[in-house]
Amino acid sequence: MPTYEYKCENCGRFERFEKITAEPLTECPTCKGKVHRVISAVGVIFKGSGFYITDNRSSEYKKAANEASKEKNSSDSKKAS
């Protein structure tokens, strides 16, 4: 179950474990004040391969892209001279 962060208008912030399908709280369990669910940042660590666009490119694609880059660079240098 994920941890959701709530902000109470009276007593501040608190966290609560809830099911994803659970309805958000509308009343603070401590002071019975009005609460709103807060969207907070999460820590994400990408480990291993497959997270970058270059990890999934085929060798044929990389070869074609490299050749296209070389052709563009050579045509740019001819225009400059």
Confidence at 32, pLDDT banded by 50, 70, 90: very high
Radius of gyration for the chain, computed over Cα atoms and rounded to the nearest angstrom: 26
Q: pLDDT tens, 35-81?
A: 999 988 878 877 777 667 666 677 788 888 888 888 877 766 666 55
Q: Do the beta carbons of residue 12 and residue 29 sit within 8 Å?
A: no
At residue 40, the pLDDT reads: 80
Q: Can you tell me the distance from the alpha carbon of 60 to that of 54, in angstroms, rounded to the nearest whole number?
A: 13
More confident residue, 52 or 2: 2
